[in-house]
Amino acid sequence: MIDTLKFLAAPITLTILMAGILSYFGNHILSRGIIFIDIAVAQIAALGTMIGLLLGYAEESLNVQLISYAFTIIVISIFALTKFHKQVIPQEAIIGIIYCIGLGIALLLAERIPGGSNFISKTITGNLLWVTWGKVLECFVIFLVIGIIHLVFWKHFILISGTRNGLPYSLWRTRFYELIFYITFSIIIVKAVPGGGVFLIFTLLIAPASAATLFTDSWKKRFIWSWIIGTLGSITGIYLSYTLNISNAPAIVTLLGLVVFILAFIKLTARKLSLNNKNQAV
């Protein structure tokens, strides 16, 4: 048992860190109604990595990481600067187009890179059980720096996320805050995907935040409960995947997805019972 805990300590610690930072961003993403943005960002990051591999660099080399970050930041900056007072094209549509372009080019490049198809598969499923403490520390430092940045601007980010129609500030002031938000968000996604994979990162971003939103409108409570749900689901999923010898990311994704539906059913049932009791009282 002790040996198992030692082996799983690094993956569990990483998922706790990812659950925390992604819960925070997930509540913003849900409020903004741009649900699939992390998949688009992850796909662009993977495209940058594939271009680095095509240029002859090692997969985890600094050069490949810099190319991946450069591609992601350029694309996400364009996305942030396309926010207008009146959106002619919904930002969700722009996200879908970015994802399709990134995936299409990545599939074309995969044909010219040895093991290209395996890389795409690894991007989707991740490599969570084999993360090292060095990777965990690296993620911790990056997450901490970005957390501090968001502490400085948190009021502006919340105000923008809560404004679904129109802009809370002038156009260029809003775009400035959006640029900071999306660049930091893209850095988090790029750093988290190699360990967790696209599906797990998307689930940690959306599922816990969705579950918490069912029961409270408070930003603070939503963040806390999202982190708790994401952490418990991830730890349970990792343990089950290890003991049952099944893939870790799909196990966590399935578990968290079921949690959301179960909590939604409980919320719906409780609301129905409450309405019935009110009707009987009348």
Q: List the CATH number of the domain containing 86.
A: 1.10.3470.10
Find the domain containing 211 and state its range.
Answer: 2-281
Predicted confidence at residue 229, as pLDDT, reads: 92
Q: What is the pLDDT of residue 124?
A: 78
The answer to whether the beta carbons of residues 265 and 244 sit under 8 Å apart is: no
Give the list of residues 6+ apart from residue 96 with CB closer than 8 angstroms, or none: 36, 40
**Tens of each residue's pLDDT in the chain, 282 residues:** 677 778 889 999 999 999 999 999 999 998 888 888 888 888 888 888 888 888 888 877 888 888 888 888 888 888 777 766 566 667 777 888 888 888 888 888 887 877 777 777 778 777 888 888 999 999 999 999 999 999 999 999 999 888 766 677 887 888 889 899 999 998 998 888 888 888 889 899 999 999 998 888 888 899 999 999 999 999 998 888 888 888 888 889 988 888 888 888 888 887 777 776 666 665
Number of structural domains in the chain: 1
Count the helix, strand and coil residues of the chain and give each as a percent rounded to the nearest 5.
85, 0, 15
| Cβ count near 259 (within 10 Å) | 19
Q: How many helices (H) and strands (E) does the chain have?
A: 10, 0
Full-prediction pTM beyond 0.95?
no
| pLDDT for res 281 | 63
Distance of alpha carbon 112 from alpha carbon 54, whole angstroms? 8
